[in-house]
Amino acid sequence: MAYQLGAPHQERITHGIFRYAEEHGPWEIVSSPEGSALALEGLSGWGGDGIIAMLETREQMKLAGKLDCPIVNLTNSRKSSGVPTVASDQRAIGQIAAEHFLERNFRRFGFYGLKEVWYSKERFMGFRNRLLREGCSVSVHETESSLLSDEPWKQDRRQLDEWLAGLSYPTAIFTAHDYRARMVLESCLDLGISVPDQVAVIGVDDDPIVCDFSRPSLTSIRQDGETVGRKAAELLDHLLSGGSVEEDILVAPGELVERDSTRVTAAENPALRQCLDLMEAHHAELIDIAWLVSQLNISRRQLEKLFRNELDKTPNVVLSEIRVERAKILLRDNPDMILREVAAGSGFSESRRLNLVFQRFMGMTPRQYLQQMD
């Protein structure tokens, strides 16, 4: 048995493959002497029983057809690979990105994708189709994938800069994957565009090196690589037993992991923007609407009208949403933190109040939220 991987979420996929092999083996798994990735080209004449591979180019797909053993493909970079495939549901990924931006009141959207790459087109379709239901359009900027380019290290920064500079703000941008999202963040920094206030950004894959060390940190949608890997191994086992498959297997994506690149509520009105910034900056303090009004040159009635007209929410609801999101981050990053500390760190007066508001917005208690992540 050989496997060949090359995607940012490959570690999760590998875990799924190995766990299935441990439970249903014994399988002898062959990989490169220098790591997990094994070039498909090196398997010509290999006497193994089956292969799990990421087929990303036409040449790899042609080569796969010449190998005399069952193959399971792990990517939908192409519309049709001619090989049994297990991959993430790409349109569902795009829909998750759209929902996240809509929840944050964005009404202008962009997509930064890859030409002639099927998963990029599918992610865009899921993103655009969800936004069309809200009457929103999407500005699109596409570039050639470095995997398909004769100059793989040459980036289209000039064209990207021109596209970003020509947008109206605030705009929410969904990208084909985390590395392209990081390019957007770098371009915004060079152009003096504020993230997330003017441009909010979402990537795909939740690559921790890219997401945590970008400035600001990058919101990303995690693919469920563990399930992809398990189902790929299960499908290969099925093929080795003489079975067949009629269509590709699509796996629902994992969760969206919010970081600083989308931690904002879009607002056109300067006073509303200022109020939202105050809420974000002081949410962990025991502030209320009276305190916010005292910091702004505006009456409480005017403030409530602004929130109602632009966000269709009250200031109290928005402040509670911000605090619940902060509580979710604390729970995710510090699962052993006691609830009293989570409450204090997210602006709730006591753990009982945290439980009450968290359940109202999330439909579950903080403890149930933690159990769901296990």
Q: What tokens appear for 33 in the block?
A: 């002497």
Does the pLDDT of residue 210 top 90, yes or no?
A: yes
Of 137-151, 219-233, 266-280, 306-320, least confident by mean pLDDT is: 137-151
Is residue 285 within 8 A of residue 79, CB to CB? The reply is no
Residues with Cβ within 8 Å of 44's Cβ and at least 6 positions away in sequence, in order, are 63, 66, 67
Domains and CATH numbers, the chain: 2-88+225-253 (3.40.50.2300), 90-223+257-262 (3.40.50.2300), 270-373 (1.10.10.60)
Give the full edge-to-edge strand order of the sheet including 256-257.
138-144, 109-115, 171-175, 199-204, 219-221, 256-257
Quick one: pLDDT at residue 5?
45
What is the tens place of the pLDDT at every residue in 69-101?
Answer: 899 998 877 666 678 999 999 999 999 999 999
* Cα–Cα distance measured from residue 232 to residue 216, given in angstroms and rounded to the nearest whole number: 35
* Cα–Cα distance measured from residue 219 to residue 201, given in angstroms and rounded to the nearest whole number: 7
pTM summary value = 0.81
Reported confidence tier of residue 151, pLDDT bands at 50, 70, 90: low
What is the tens place of the pLDDT at every residue in 174-206?
Answer: 999 999 999 999 999 999 999 999 999 999 999
* Cα–Cα distance measured from residue 138 to residue 134, given in angstroms and rounded to the nearest whole number: 12
* Cα–Cα distance measured from residue 178 to residue 207, given in angstroms and rounded to the nearest whole number: 7
* Cα–Cα distance measured from residue 21 to residue 52, given in angstroms and rounded to the nearest whole number: 12
Angle between helices 270-282 and 315-333 (to 10 degrees): 40
Reported confidence tier of residue 147, pLDDT bands at 50, 70, 90: low
Quick one: pLDDT at residue 37?
58
The backbone torsions φ and ψ at residue 251, rounded to the nearest 5 degrees and listed phi first, read -110, 130
Does the pLDDT of residue 357 top 80, yes or no?
A: yes
Does the pLDDT of residue 154 top 90, yes or no?
A: no
